[in-house]
C-alpha cells in the first residue's frame, strides 16, 4: 500500500472542489487513479479539452512511487502549510 498525491493547479485563476490536494491509499498507482477519477470534479486533461493550455491542467497525476506511510503524508502537508 502507498499514498498517492493528486495536486490541483490554480487553472484559470481559481481552485475548485473537492479539495486542493487529494491523497488516496491504494496498492498501485493504477488503482489510485481509478479511485481518483471516480470522484466528482476529478479528472486528467492532458489534451486541454477542459483546461486552458496557458494555465495548465487542473489535476496532476501522482508520482509513481507515492508515499510509503501516512506519516510521510502528514509531514508533506505540514511543510505545505508553513
**Model confidence pLDDT, tens digit, residues 6-58:** 999 987 788 888 999 999 999 999 999 999 999 999 999 989 888 888 888 89
**Residues 39, 44, 49, 50, Cα dihedral to 10°:** 40
Residue whose grid cell is 510509503:
68
What is the distance between the alpha carbons of residues 51 and 1, in angstroms, rounded to a whole number?
A: 31
The 10s digit of each residue's pLDDT in 73-82 is 888 888 887 7
- Sign of the Cα pseudo-torsion (16, 17, 22, 25, in order): negative
Cell of residue 42, nine digits: 476529478
CB atoms within 10 A of CB 42: 19
> pTM of the full predicted structure?
0.86
Domains in the chain: boundaries: 2-81
Amino acid at each position: 500500500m502507498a499514498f498517492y498525491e493528486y495536486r490541483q493547479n490554480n487553472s484559470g485563476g481559481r481552485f475548485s472542489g473537492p479539495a486542493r490536494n487529494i491523497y488516496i491509499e491504494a496498492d498501485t498507482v493504477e488503482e489510485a487513479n481509478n479511485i481518483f477519477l471516480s470522484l466528482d470534479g476529478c479528472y486528467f486533461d492532458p489534451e486541454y479539452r477542459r483546461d486552458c493550455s496557458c494555465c495548465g491542467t487542473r489535476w496532476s497525476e501522482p508520482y509513481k512511487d507515492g508515499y510509503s506511510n501516512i506519516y510521510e503524508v502528514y509531514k508533506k502537508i505540514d511543510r505545505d502549510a508553513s
